[in-house]
Structure 1
Amino acid sequence: MPRAVREQQMMDAAVRIFGQRGFRAASMDEIAELAGVSKPLVYLYLNSKDELFSACIARESKALVAAVQAGVQPGLPADRQLWEGLRAFFTHTAENPDGWAVLYRQARTHGEPFAGEVNVMREEIVAFVTGLIGAAAREAHHDPALPDRDVTGLAQALVGAAEALAGWANETPGVSAKEAAATLMNFSWAGLENLMNGRPWQPQGQSSPSSR
């Protein structure tokens, strides 16, 4: 069997074990058994448990970012682009629950370098969503009304909500990817649409937070 194919088999097994058992509890013996290879072969190909975990983070991060980017068709109205991006995100996390568990639950809780590695992926998605929100602002106003800091803050909030909702959806029977995407779209777009049209919320009788 070609080395690349064998490595992918071992990575598939590792993602499943890490995602379901957790990094600390997972053993190289379990991974080797699930992959149908010997433990020495796993070490030969992937060196150590830490390096194997890092390789899983890199693979799953790349796949998630690619899925979100591929889901958005340029040229669509702003709300459709955001909807397609959210649907692609929730579809991918639903179809790859172990990979999402590795990124969202495991990598972040075991310190460096794992937390830093998954944060690189997160920042890629935040940058992509920032671009979508910025495009929506330009669509609504020839001269964008939202400051760059506000756009980035909205993207951070939206990505954080999507991450939490994906974890909940994967653990709640009967919640489809489309339903999860629609929940977040309904929650976020009403507020975003008001912002795009110059109607930001503010406490009654006070100036808006961004003007202070």
Structure 2
Amino acid sequence: MAGGTKRLPRAVREQQMLDAAVEVFARNGFHDTSMDAIAAEAAISKPMLYLYYGSKDELFAACIQREGARFVESLAPAGDPKLTPREQVQKALISFLEFVDNNRQSWMVLYRTATNQAAFASQVQNSRNQLIELVAKLLESSTKNPEPGTNFGIMAVALIGAGEAVADRIAGGEILVDEAAELLENLAWRGLAGKKKD
């Protein structure tokens, strides 16, 4: 083989390309990222990159799909039936914020870069909708005697909106996970039927 380069399985090569793409998109944004820069980051030729992903749009969409799936998967521990509903909400918050803290480039691609690209808005919204549905269910199941007509879906939207803003501060190194989790937890419970945390 040319240059003695070891041939990697396609799935491994794809992940390497996506890893490189996430790094470059996070650093430069969508418009200022070139396929040349991603190929260089992945230490492959540009023709090979185009062989796997036919365009920058296709590659970016693959990044969103993978990182969005990883983000949703990170919340799976919150569904542990051994936890009380309130503990599940707490676990979801911590898992969400820890994902951002440990995967800052992923967060920047999903939250900062993708949300500014109309062509990819539906992909990002799909991940967000899954999160909203999960949080709404957890809030409803963890609230004793809710006020009649309480809209847990809207409450989940509000909490996630606040969570995204706080998570962006984590990605920027402005706030620690534990501090952010406590802030959001207090916000969640104080918003539920006027219940305040002691």
Q: Structures share a fold, TM > 0.5?
A: yes
C-alpha distance in structure 2 between counterparts of 1:134 and 1:93, whole Å = 25
Alignment of 1:13-52 (within 5 A): 13-52=20-59
Q: Does 1:92 find its partner at 2:99?
A: yes
| Aligned residue in 1 for 2:3 | none
Q: Which runs of 5+ in 2 are unaligned?
A: 1-7
C-alpha distance in structure 1 between counterparts of 2:35 and 2:165, whole Å = 29
The percentage of aligned residue pairs carrying the same residue is 40
Q: Match of 1:37, SS?
A: coil
* Structure 2 residue identity aligned to 1:162: G
Is the CA contact (8 Å cut-off) linking 1:79 and 1:189 kept in structure 2?
no
| Aligned residue in 2 for 1:210 | none
C-alpha distance in structure 1 between counterparts of 2:130 and 2:75, whole Å = 10
Runs of 4+ in 1 over 4 A off after TM superposition: none
Q: Does 1:65 find its partner at 2:72?
A: yes
* Structure 2 residue identity aligned to 1:182: E
Higher deviation after alignment, 176-185 or 124-133: 176-185
Q: Does 1:189 find its partner at 2:196?
A: no
How far off is 1:72 after superposition? 3.8
C-alpha distance in structure 2 between counterparts of 1:62 and 1:78, whole Å = 23
Is the CA contact (8 Å cut-off) linking 2:115 and 2:121 kept in structure 1?
yes
C-alpha distance in structure 2 between counterparts of 1:124 and 1:91, whole Å = 18
Q: Does 1:134 find its partner at 2:148?
A: no
How far off is 1:20 after superposition? 1.2
CA RMSD, Structure 1 to Structure 2 (Å) = 1.7
Is the CA contact (8 Å cut-off) linking 2:100 and 2:170 kept in structure 1?
no
C-alpha distance in structure 1 between counterparts of 2:103 and 2:112, whole Å = 14
Q: Match of 1:131, SS?
A: helix
| Aligned residue in 2 for 1:171 | 172
- Name the TM-score, length of structure 1 as normaliser: 0.83
Q: Does 1:12 find its partner at 2:19?
A: yes
